[in-house]
Amino acid sequence: MSISARPYIGSRDFYPDDMRFREWMFGVPRRICKTYGYGEYASPVLEPIELYTAKSSEEIVNEQLYRFTDRGDREVAIRPEMTPTLARMVAAKINSLTLPLRLYSIANFMRYERPGRGRLREFFQLNVDLLGSSSATADAEVMMIAVEILRSYGASDEHFMVRFSDRRLFDSFFSDLDRQTGRLVGRLLDKREKISSEEFDRALQEISTDPSLRDRIAEFISLRLEDLPPLAESGRLASDAVSHLLEVERLLADAVPKGVLSFDPGIVRGFDYYTGLIFEVYDNHPENNRALFGGGRYDRLLGIYGKQEVPAVGFGMGDVTLENFIRNHNLAPAEVAHPEGVYITLFSPELFGQGLRIASMLRQGGICAEVALEPTKKFGKQFEIAQKKGRRFALIVGEDEIAKGIVRVKDLQTGEQKDVVESELVSYLLPEDRIARK
Ligand code: HAM
């Protein structure tokens, strides 16, 4: 019997070309987070199951968790998201941490989902969270980071949209619904753009037989920001949520154009821990209709660890939909497709030692250099390998060149050749080398 060489369903292997893309893709937000003063953290992939059963999402706990009993009879789960872990980490050290805390991480997660466009079982997320402030300024900062990340890929503001709301609007508008019905209606609202209106109606009938519910949902999702204050005054909507939302909008008005920021009461977000602002960032490209980022405020999650409550807000940005976004809008720089550095070809097998010497000089200068291992192969063959590998430069090491103290450099993109004095090789190649430029 032969064993399949494919990765586990819904997960991916990353070969060097894929890794180069992934590193570049996460390098952009990493840089942004650093410039905003966020510190990086990491955590284990396994967590005690209570982290999720206490307060996460019913869908995740009941349908999507990878869970098992370890050899010591502990119930554990592979992390499906970062927020409960982050809350645990901060709660554990709350007495020695200085608030507000600005934190980010890049990690992999697993959810037992049906793999499809934009959805996998193993995916990566950037998580950005700001803990220790309940102010609208914290919400505005976190949303601004999301916008700035997309702009830093070279996306223009027409390419994406930040939809925001506040969990308390939904909770107050539908306060008559019992907890379970409320949850199901919220989940259905989150799904509404991915299903037909017939499917929506059918699902709603299964949730509730109340004939007025459909109209109330229609009224709720058509609310505009300017409709909120009178409804808050009449007590139909939570007034603290309305004033907070208007404040967030005001704070962002100078930095983010109106068309990019869009109030959308239909955003509910399925996690039980959200307590206030919620938002999602969408690609405006019609074929990538799942959220790129999802986040919100969770002011009562840290309290489950028996320590003090710490207000917090943050988001997760997934790599699968983000990659679709980058490809849809052609945002990856061409050089990401090619490995950096040079390939050193040798005129004869005896020159291998000289190849090593030159390679070592380049590496000392911060340039990646790969030396032909089978110099007995015809010279043309070595060149072919250099070309197939997609490296930018091939260096030609021959007896005559060595005697003159030069190396022939061939630009594999333009075909141009130039003899460069050995001692000037690094400074000649450096401006073109991506490793050195990073
Ligand atoms: P989430 O909406 O579940 O939120 O995930 C955030 C993003 O991760 C999504 O918008 C999507 O891009 C990506 N994502 C989620 N599940 C999958 C999947 N199965 N396959 C591919 N991509 C996926 C959270 O996880 C919250 N913990 C985010 C957060 C951080 N809230 C506050 N701080």
Query: Tens digit of pLDDT for each residue in 25-56?
Result: 999 999 999 999 999 999 999 999 999 998 87
Averaged pLDDT, 272-289: 93
346 alpha carbon – ligand 1 mean position (Å): 50
Atom of ligand 1 nearest to the CA of 119: 20
Phi, psi of 118 (to 5 degrees): 80, -5
> 343 forms bridges with which residues in the sheet?
370, 394
Atom of ligand 1 nearest to the CA of 121: 19
18 alpha carbon – ligand 1 mean position (Å): 21
Ligand 1, pocket residues at CB < 6 Å: 81-83, 111, 113, 119-120, 123, 125, 127, 129, 291-296, 314-316, 318, 320-321
Q: Where are the beta strands (DSSP E) in 284-392?
A: 291-297, 312-318, 342-346, 369-371
Is the pLDDT at 106 greater than 70, yes or no?
yes
Residue 59 corresponds to which tokens in the numbers above?
């869908």
Atom of ligand 1 nearest to the CA of 120: 20
395 alpha carbon – ligand 1 mean position (Å): 45
149-186 pLDDT, tens digit each: 999 999 999 999 999 999 999 999 999 999 889 999 99
Summary mean pLDDT of the chain = 93
> 102 forms bridges with which residues in the sheet?
130
123 alpha carbon – ligand 1 mean position (Å): 9
The torsion of the CA quartet 403, 404, 406, 410, rounded to 10 degrees, works out to -80
pLDDT of residue 375: 64
Q: How far is CA 369 from CA 241, 363, 389, in A?
A: 58, 7, 12
Are 55 and 301 in contact by the 8 Å Cβ rule? The answer is yes
Spatial separation of the C-alpha atoms in residues 43 and 41, rounded to whole Å: 7
DSSP 377: S
Spatial separation of the C-alpha atoms in residues 282 and 207, rounded to whole Å: 28
Spatial separation of the C-alpha atoms in residues 187 and 69, rounded to whole Å: 29
Residue 377's pLDDT band (cuts 50, 70, 90)? low
Shortest-distance Cα residue to atom 20 of ligand 1: 119
Spatial separation of the C-alpha atoms in residues 92 and 47, rounded to whole Å: 14
Shortest-distance Cα residue to atom 8 of ligand 1: 318
Give the mutation target among 123, 160, 297 for probing the ligand 1 site: most ligand atoms within 8 A of CB.
Answer: 123
Residue 57's pLDDT band (cuts 50, 70, 90)? confident
pLDDT of residue 436: 44
Spatial separation of the C-alpha atoms in residues 54 and 57, rounded to whole Å: 9
pLDDT of residue 395: 96
82 alpha carbon – ligand 1 mean position (Å): 9
318 alpha carbon – ligand 1 mean position (Å): 6
337 alpha carbon – ligand 1 mean position (Å): 27
What order of strands is seen across the sheet that includes strand 160-166?
A: 39-40, 101-110, 122-131, 312-318, 291-297, 277-283, 160-166, 261-263
Residue 65 corresponds to which tokens in the numbers above?
């968790």
> 394 forms bridges with which residues in the sheet?
343, 410
- Flag whether the pTM goes above 0.75: yes
Atom of ligand 1 nearest to the CA of 118: 21
Cβ contacts of residue 396 below 8 Å, gap of 6+? 345, 347, 407, 408, 409, 410
Give the mutation target among 81, 191, 282 for probing the ligand 1 site: most ligand atoms within 8 A of CB.
Answer: 81
Residue 434's pLDDT band (cuts 50, 70, 90)? very low
80 alpha carbon – ligand 1 mean position (Å): 9
127 alpha carbon – ligand 1 mean position (Å): 9
pLDDT of residue 432: 64
Atom of ligand 1 nearest to the CA of 129: 33
Residue 356 corresponds to which tokens in the numbers above?
């090593």
Averaged pLDDT, 386-404: 92
Give the mutation target among 280, 320, 325 for probing the ligand 1 site: most ligand atoms within 8 A of CB.
Answer: 320
406 alpha carbon – ligand 1 mean position (Å): 54
389 alpha carbon – ligand 1 mean position (Å): 35
Half-sphere exposure in the Cβ direction for 208 (13 Å, CA): 21
Are 279 and 298 in contact by the 8 Å Cβ rule? The answer is no
87-99 pLDDT, tens digit each: 999 999 999 999 9
Atom of ligand 1 nearest to the CA of 317: 7
255-265 pLDDT, tens digit each: 998 889 999 99
Closest CA to 171 of 235, 219, 242, 238: 238
The answer, yes or no, to whether the previous bond of 311 is cis (omega within 30 of 0) is: no
41 alpha carbon – ligand 1 mean position (Å): 18
Shortest-distance Cα residue to atom 29 of ligand 1: 315
Spatial separation of the C-alpha atoms in residues 27 and 325, rounded to whole Å: 16
Shortest-distance Cα residue to atom 24 of ligand 1: 316
**CB-based burial label for 285 (10 Å; 0-12, 13-18, 19+):** middle
